[in-house]
Amino acid sequence: MAEVAVAVATPAGPTVNDENTVPSTGDEIKTVFHDVNNFNVKHPLLNSWSLWFTKPPSSKGDNWNDLLKEVVQFDSVEEFWGVYNNITAVSDLAVKSDYHLFKKGVRPEWEDPQNKHGGKWSYSFKDKKLVNIDELWLHAQLAAIGETLEDEGDNEIMGVVVNVRKGFFRIGLWTRTTGKAAAKETLVKIGTKFKEVLQLPASEQLEFSGHTDAAHAGSTRAKSKYTI
């Protein structure tokens, strides 16, 4: 008989499955909630995730695949915090750097088979001095790995991305589809939740564009399919 999964909320927010992993006989069960340094039980996430990094190009001839590198994979709350606390903060990254947090097995590229029919919700924060990009990026990651942006069975979320550019920071949420037919309602619902995660006021618009449209647009901005 399969074990019953128990939902657990971490101090920072994501919902995970506690599979009741029991340490060896005689050891006291200690989770990260009891001892942040000497825990012996981990809280598995519902999915495994990969953190990727795009370093700034050194010349116009640099190949995208050479700039994009997978940093680490993880599948528990504790591992996420271990990674987060030991990498460079977004606010300290060089211009033209990117972080990508995607489900394991999905490359953060339009051409990936799991992305090619999808799109993304995104927002550009143009006043870099006034925005706490580190806090917002953390919230975006927690919402993704905590599975709080979509309902069970939606199967839309692929990953989240933060871009560091000279004039702005941009955070995006990649989805598996572009919401054709009835699926549009699902994407709008996800986008509405993501807008709340980014702490955007009602007066600001979160935009959704398809990856295919973005590829065809080239250096110009792809036309938005939806806005909320």
10-24, 82-96, 114-128: least confident range? 10-24
- Quick: pLDDT tens for 106-121: 999 999 999 999 999 9
- Quick: pLDDT tens for 15-72: 444 444 444 445 676 665 566 566 667 899 999 999 999 999 887 767 767 899 999 9
Give the fold, CATH level 3, of 48-227.
RNA Cap, Translation Initiation Factor Eif4e (3.30.760)
- Quick: pLDDT tens for 157-211: 999 999 999 999 999 999 999 987 668 899 999 999 999 999 999 999 999 999 9
pLDDT computed for residue 179 by the predictor: 80
Buried b (16+ CB within 10 A) or exposed e, 80-114: bbebbeeeeebeebeeebbbbbbbeebbbebebee
Q: Between 212 and 18, whose confidence is greater?
A: 212
Number of helices (H) and strands (E) in the chain: give both, helices first: 5, 10
pLDDT computed for residue 52 by the predictor: 98
Residues pairing with 54 in the sheet: 68, 98
What's the CA gap between 211 and 209, in Å, rounded? 7
In the chain, domain spans: 48-227
What's the CA gap between 175 and 119, in Å, rounded? 5
| Entry pTM | 0.81
pLDDT computed for residue 62 by the predictor: 72
Confidence band, pLDDT 50/70/90 cuts, at residue 223:
confident
What's the CA gap between 193 and 202, in Å, rounded? 12
pLDDT computed for residue 205 by the predictor: 96
Instruction: Tell me which residue of 226, 150, 149 sits closest to 194, measured CA to CA.
Output: 149
The pLDDT of residue 125 is above 90: yes
The pLDDT of residue 3 is above 60: no
